Amino acid sequence: MKKFWALFFFFWPTVAMYCCLIAPSRGWWFPSPPMSRTGVQIDGLFYLILIIVTITFVGTQYAIGYVLWKGATKEQDSKAMFSHGSHKLEIIWTIVPSFILVFISLSQLDVLAEIRVISSFPEDAQKPAAKIAEVMARQFEWRIRYAKPGTDLTTEPSPGDLYFVNELHVPTGKPVVINLRTQDVQHAFFSPQLRVKQDAVPGLVIPVWFDVKEVGEYDLVCAELCGWGHYKMKARIVAQSQGGVDNYLKQLEAEQNEDGTKAESAAE
Amino acid sequence: MATVTPALDAHGHADDHSHGHGHHQSFISKYVFSQDHKIIGIQFLCTTLLMLMVGGALALAVRWQLAFPWQNMPVVGQLFGLFQTEGGQISPEFYTMLFTMHASVMIFLVIIPILAGAFGNFLIPLQIGCDDMAFPILNMLSYWFMWPAMVCFACSFFWAGGTAGPGNGWTSYPLLSDLPQAAPGSGSPQTFWLLGLTLVGVSSMMGSVNYLTTIINMRAPGMTLFRMPLTIWSMFITAILQAFALPVLTAAGFMLVFDRLGTIFPTTIHSVFFIPANIIVNNAEPTVGGGQPLLWQHLFWFYSHPAVYIMLLPAMGMVSDMLSCMSRKPVFGYKPMVYSMAAIAGLGFIVWGHHMFTSGMNPALGMTFMTSTMMIALPSAIKTFNWIGTMWGGDLKFNAVLLNCAGFVAMFIVGGLSGIFMAAVPVDIYFHDTYFIVAHFHYVLFGSTLFGVFGAIQFWFPKMFGREMNDTVQKWHFVLSFIGFNGTFFPMHLLGIAGMPRRYADPYLHGYLSHLLDMNRFITISAILMGVSQFLLLGNFFYSMFRGKKVGRNPWNANGLEWTAPSPPGHGNFDIAPIVYRGPYEYSSPESDALGQDYILQTVPHVAGVKAVAHH
Amino acid sequence: MSRTPSLNLFVLAFLLSAAAMSGCSDSAFDSSFVYSPGTLDLMPEAQNGSKDVHGVKALLDERFGDPQHLEAWLKMPIDFGGTMTTVGEITTAESGIPVIKLGVEEGISLPEQAGSIQFVSGACAGETLVVSQWDPKTGEANLAAAPSQSVASGDICFIDRGTVIQSGRMLYMRHCSHCHGTSGDGNGPTARYLTPKPRDYRNGVFKFTSTNDMSKAARDDISRVVKYGIPGTYMPSFLLMKDEEHNAIIEYVRFLTLRGEFERKLVAELSSDYSKVALSSRLKDEKKADILKELNEFLAEDLKESANSLGDELAEIWATSDTEEALIVPSIARIPDSTESRRRGRELYLSKALNCADCHGIDGAGNGPQTIAYEKNPTTGQLYNEAGLHDVWDNQNQPRNLQLGMYRGGRRPIDLFRRIHAGIKGSRMPSFKNTPHEDIWNIVNYVLSIPFETEPGGTGIAPSAAAAAVTVPPAN
């Protein structure tokens, strides 16, 4: 029975590892490869940590299994080793992990700065023209405001602004910035495929930049509890060529100035 | 024991001990409003075990919704008559109430009080060799303040017939929790919830003042700081954490209450600590204010991150004691263990910002908090290595205590390693508020703390009741809980990687999550297994209390002072006031060999002619 | 390790419960429709009828069913789903079960998939048969089991009848019912916390429509609201729903609306003579037995007949509301936005004739004198407890604050035009259909400029760069 318990502690990390190994093939992994430049960097850091963590996980879990196995197979009546510890070991397992942890820490800084520090944004993202839309979160939807084509986005609404809901159109291949705000409580702008997440905080206007690599549709959901309809904030980011976005905005402008005298079908 | 008595007499401490207290007590003063730390500890233990089942039931309701979204919820759908017209289909705000109350109950009414309240109370005087706590009345009050807190939580949950409980998460971020219109439960129920929180805080604070004083002033002669068991060290450090962090939460709670009172007393009390201007919620008038919601997050996490260690350190200490005893081996690296606990506590005060990496706070702060958070993994790693070192080469006793402790270490490793992903800000940007976080903190709070507590209940049960728990049942309980636990929480890492956000009543609405329903069903079935297996623990606990095998003073052949007292100890604990001659972990030492046993009580003076030679 | 018998039992019990649980996972949303307060105010005999005659409840259930068994009252302008077709040639498969050829009439397009066939005429009328194999090209359907009676060529049947309304219901229960209620009464569990209240469909009134003031809502109107939400309320946007899901929900909303309206109309036939209140006053000089006899006669003859004609009325108005006839089309294109147009708009806004400022306030803040006056409840004749306007649902009805730039019925000029032309149905915003269209456009231009005014009523501000593009060059 003792051996059973030792094996039990070998068994479960093995099962856990197996689950992780088959996870990508079962769809229990990232919803898609990273579709933005920062997403690629984030995934790189994730896999770096994953490798370090996996080695540590396997090492320590099997170490537990091993010491239990040693205890289980010990001869009857043999005494426990009398030891209060080992300075040498303590020093080793203080210094080695601290180096690894500092290494992990330092490896994050550049990416963090590029994602969050406004002065470290890519140069293109710092231009006013990169600011393509305001995303106003509210219970329980995303209200999008674009500047009138040909003008720059203003922080507060201007006449001629274009409005839409739950669908954000962005051009691909270049950094874009959105002004993230909320009308009521806290929300979070989360696109799993783009690996973008930023809380929308009442009273703040937060610039968020990202670049989308490929044309396509990406999920946009809320990742900060915002009330009973938190799960309902289903939206999408539509990535198109610059021309596609321009056409879309033109069409949106036409719809928004609809006066009902033309054929009604144009409004839809 | 025979060797102890003369020494005691020589020091003249025999009068100190407390048979004199054995005067007649009424049932009420002995078992209800008792000032005896042991009774208070057991009261805490029974109450928290009850609350564990309540919190577990709430969790299962949450799991039901995730496995069978919008399907007729068993019991809840019909029992209260809440959702009969919807055919037992719960409402989305009820789901938010369920997870909010699950967390509130588990954190404030189970994990914190079961460690500090139950075991802290029971063990501190016994392990340091004094007759009771420094302030027995304060101690009694610290238990009885839990009840108004529970009443407040119950009021808030059952407000408006159970349809408008607080649904803002246990973190209660404003403005959701600040503006009464923002959510169904953000009116009076939220105020009750905050009052409950404050009362729990009062209870904890009374406890920690008591523990600090008792540990500093009332140690038995010879019980130097570095002869204290690690349990005592952990309780000591926890008490410091609580004493310094709690005031911040209490203050923040009152700030939130004052903000909220504006709806009742708009002209007298209407602060706007957390309310910015021009916010329109639920079509109400735009807010007037100049507050900042992020302030709450800072204040809240300034308490609640140290609180994570309040919820963990005592378990670490107890596991160290139990592992050493069940391995018949000294704790590997006693002082590094103490220093790393101190380091965890110290660093614990400067890592709160890692809960806010996506909150929009200054990114420079993010870098600082990332580094300090990474560094807190270091003492945790040291402790892990030392636990494994403690078991290494030991004469392991494969009972449920050892298994639960080994489970503790194994689960703590998982919880610690998954924490590294979240400490790294860029990676956390992806994982923040996904199920990865849910997996992480359940590995720490349930996987570590509760497995440690399961072991500790069995380990100290003989001291509490003079009887022992059935080990076979405990092994079953361990293996079923362990399988259920890992079946529940390990897959949540994968849900998190798949990008499933927390607190979604219906994640499958989103195309990229809809394929995860099967995995969520598996998780729910595992959670039911885990939940049901807790009845084994409860059954064994209450059965053994009255029918368990009677045991003597020291059934585990352990070294600590508590094992020199009768089982259960009378009022005043020790029949002979103990004097301490050695550390608590001298198992299998050459000196004990000389006595023909593999343990040597802390009260045993040095044996002439045998030198304690140990590997250092 | 010794396993005690009790432990074995325990493990077994767990496995069974887990199995039972996974088995019941796909049960549909069990729920029931509630009857309107009007129905419940009738005397019990009028509600429930007797053994031989249907009361209001039975008449309603007969035509609309309950959530688990929805009835398709084909008269109603609702797309219940399914394809109506006629049975053609009948052959017999080797197993002895008939193979039916469907879709013999011209111009009928057969669905890609077919799960069941329901007969509405012939010997098998009312019977539903499961299709085991379906060929959409030839229209040949192999049946899973033989019908109880023989099927004849020329029998009329439906393929997959009611699939739209069924899926609409499932979606409605998932997305809508917690606010709008299972019966569409706007009284789901979440509803009580929301301001404004979720719509009670049963009046048959939808606020924001493209149709004229006498018409109901068109499908497109409901569709717009579901798609884009209503800003400033808790009605969120369901933009990303698939088209077929979206349409199914709209059909189900129409179903609930018609059910509610039909119920109201039935009650209206009875309430003057047979409500609980009427009964108690009639009992002063009539005998209960006489009243009951009279009621039974009324239920058996008059009401049964009028049920059909009421259905026809409803069907007609809802069907016409969906046509071009009902749509509001401005007779002239939008007057280009200019300072002049805005000034004219403001004059009209303040004018005695239109008197917009009476509710919306002189600077458009939604704080006109009407918002502090006390109104009379039209049904009870009592003053309301709180000041301000009230809508037909008896909820407080705040005039829109036009300074916020938030337009619940849509922000396109045509949306605002229609709000003014037809009014906002059910609310206190009246119809200004007799106002010349040119004037309405001027008001629209003024209203759209309010959020950007630099001072209240500041029509003097230059039209923005955006508006300048469409400004007519001043004649000089």
Closest Cβ–Cβ partner in A1, A32, A67 for B398: A1
| pLDDT band at residue B611 using 50, 70 and 90 as cut-offs | low
Q: Quick one: closest CA in A to C470, which residue?
A: A257
Of C1, C10, C195, the CB nearest to B475: C1
Helices B471-497 & B517-547, crossing angle to 10 degrees?
160
Candidate from A163, A165, A260 with C-beta closest to C330: A260
Check C414 against A267: CB less than 8 A apart: yes
Of B71, B86, B532, the CB nearest to C27: B71
The alpha-helical segments, DSSP class H, found in B362-516 are: 363-391, 400-423, 425-431, 435-442, 451-465, 471-497
Q: What is residue A262's predicted lDDT score, i.e. its pLDDT? A: 62
**pLDDT digits (tens), chain A, 268 positions:** 899 999 999 999 999 999 999 999 999 999 999 999 999 999 999 999 999 999 999 999 999 999 999 999 988 778 888 889 999 999 999 999 999 999 999 999 999 999 999 999 999 999 999 999 999 999 999 999 999 999 999 999 999 999 999 999 999 999 999 999 999 999 999 999 999 999 999 999 999 999 999 999 999 999 999 999 999 999 999 999 999 999 999 999 999 998 888 654 444 4
- Identify the residue among B177, B358, B380, B404 best suited for mutation to test binding to A, counting A beta carbons within 10 A and taking the highest: B358
CA angle C23, C27, C29 (to 5 degrees): 155
Reported confidence tier of residue B10, pLDDT bands at 50, 70, 90? very low
Judged on CB neighbours under 10 Å (0-12, 13-18, 19+), B285 is exposed
Q: Which two tokens stand for residue B257?
A: 């209450």
Q: Is the peptide bond before B221 cis (omega within 30 degrees of 0)?
A: no
Residue C2 confidence (pLDDT): 39
C83 φ, ψ (degrees, to nearest 5): -120, 125
- The answer for residues whose C-beta is within 8 angstroms of residue B615's C-beta and 6 or more apart is A81, A82, A83, A84, A85, A86
Chains touching A (3+ CB pairs < 8 Å): B, C
In order, the DSSP letters of C69-102 are EE---TTSS-----EEEEEEEEEE-TTS-EEEEE
What residues form DSSP beta bridges with A163? Answer: A145
pLDDT tops 70 at residue B613:
no
Of C234, C330, C405, the CB nearest to A157: C405
Asked whether the beta carbons of residue C14 and residue B71 sit closer than 8 angstroms, the reply is: no
CB–CB contact B497 A30 (8 Å): yes
CB B420 to CB A52 under 8 A?
yes
Chain C positions in Cβ-Cβ contact with residue B529 (cut-off 8 Å): 14, 18
Does the pLDDT at position B610 exceed 80? no
Dihedral angle over CA of C237, C239, C243, C246, nearest 10: -10
CB atoms under 10 Å from CB of C433, counted, come to: 15
Nearest 5 degrees, angle CA B596-CA B598-CA B599? Answer: 110
**Taking CB atoms and an 8 Å cutoff, what residues of chain C touch B473?**
7
Considering CB atoms only, which of A105, A197, A231 is closest to B358?
A197
Q: Which of B190, B201, B106 lies closest to B145 in space, CA to CA?
A: B201
Report the residue of C21, C176, C179, C192 to disrupt the B interface, i.e. the one with the largest count of B CBs within 10 Å. Answer: C21
Q: Determine the residue among C240, C332, C411, C453 to mutate to test chain A binding: the one whose Cβ has the most chain A Cβ atoms within 10 Å.
A: C240
Q: Maximum Cα–Cα distance for chain B, whole Å?
A: 85
Closest residue to C233, CB basis, from B68, B183, B283: B283
Dist CA B407 CA A12 (whole Å)? 11
Buried b (16+ CB within 10 A) or exposed e, C115-154: ebbbbeebebeebebebeebebeebbbebeeebeeebeee
Provide the b/e sequence for C238-255 (b: ≥16 CB within 10 Å).
bbbbeeebbbbbbbbbbb
Instruction: List the end-to-end C-alpha distance of chain A, in Å, as a whole number.
Output: 72
pLDDT of residue C26: 42
Query: Residues of A numbered 109-138 whose beta carbons fall under 8 angstroms of chain B's beta carbons: which are they?
Result: 109, 111-113, 115-117
Residue B110 contacts residue B55 (beta carbons within 8 Å)? yes
Nearest chain C CA: its distance from B544 CA (Å): 16
**On the CB side of C204, how many CA atoms lie within 13 Å of its CA?**
17
Query: Quick check: C236 and A233 CB within 8 A?
Result: yes
The complex's ipTM?
A: 0.95
Instruction: Nearest by CB to B85, from C25, C34, C398: name it.
Output: C34
Neighbouring chains of C at 3+ CB pairs within 8 Å? A, B
**Interior angle at CA B173, CA B172 and CA B178, nearest 5:** 85
Give C386's contacts (C-beta < 8 A, 6+ positions apart): C396
**Residues of chain B numbered 431-460 and touching chain A (CB < 8 Å):** 432-434
* Furthest-apart CA atoms within chain C: distance in Å: 106
Whether C412 sits inside 8 A of A257 (CB atoms) is yes
- Alpha helix segments (H runs only) across A27-161: 37-72, 87-116
Which chain C residues touch B168 with a CB distance below 8 Å?
A: none
Pairing of strands A235-240, A167-171: parallel
Encoded tokens for A260? 């009902």
Q: Is C6 on the interface with B (CB under 8 A)?
A: no
Beta pairing partners, A238? A169, A217
**Cα separations in angstroms, C351 against B436, C356, C455:** 62, 8, 20
Q: How far apart are CA B112 and CA B115, in angstroms?
A: 6
Nearest-by-Cβ selection for B472 from C1, C189, C195: C1
- Is B82 in CB contact (< 8 Å) with chain C? yes
Distance of CA C110 to the CA centre of its chain: 29
Asked if C380 has any chain B CB less than 8 Å from its own CB, the reply is no
A163 touches chain C (CB under 8 A): yes
- Residue A240 sits at φ, ψ, to 5 deg, of -135, 170
Helices (H), chain A: 2-26, 37-72, 87-116, 242-256
C contacts of A250 (beta carbons < 8 Å): none
Put simply, whether B270 touches C (Cβ < 8 Å) is: no
Which tokens is C168 given?
Answer: 């609409």
Tell me if B528 and C18 make a contact (CB, 8 A cut-off). Answer: yes
Give B-chain residues touching C192 at CB under 8 angstroms: 163, 184
Give me the pLDDT at residue C220, please.
94
Inspect the interface and report whether the beta carbons of A259 and C333 lie closer than 8 Å: yes
- Among B60, B70, B75, B85, the residue to mutate for chain C (most C Cβ within 10 A): B85
pLDDT score for B557:
94
The residue in chain C having the minimum alpha-carbon distance to the alpha carbon of residue A158 is C452
**B547 touches B461 (CB < 8 A):** no
Q: What are φ and ψ of residue A168, in 5° steps?
A: -115, 120
For B244, the token pair is: 């310094």
Amino acid at A58: V
Q: Report the residue of chain A nearest B399, measured CA to CA.
A: A2
Interface test with C, best of A158, A222, A261, A268 (most C CBs within 10 A): A261
pLDDT, tens only, B176-214: 999 988 988 888 899 999 999 999 999 999 999 999 999
Quote the mean pLDDT of chain C: 85
SS (H, E, C) B173-209: CCCCCCCCCCCHHHCHHHHHHHHHHHHHHHHHHHHHH
Q: Which pLDDT score, from 0 to 100, does residue B77 have?
A: 75
Report the chain A residue with the minimal C-alpha distance to residue C191. A228
pLDDT of residue B184: 87
User: Between chains, do A199 and B358 touch, taking CB under 8 Å as contact?
Assistant: yes
Q: Averaged in consecutive runs of 10 residues, what is the pLDDT profile of chain C (476 residues)? A: 39 41 50 90 90 89 88 88 86 83 78 85 83 86 84 85 90 92 91 90 93 94 95 93 94 96 93 91 90 90 89 94 92 92 93 93 90 86 88 88 91 94 93 94 94 69 41 39
Q: Which residues have a Cβ under 8 Å from the Cβ of C57 and sit 6 or more positions away?
A: C35, C39, C47, C48, C49
C34 touches chain B (CB under 8 A): yes
- For the ranges B44-53, B252-261, C124-133, C366-375, the lowest mean pLDDT is seen at C124-133
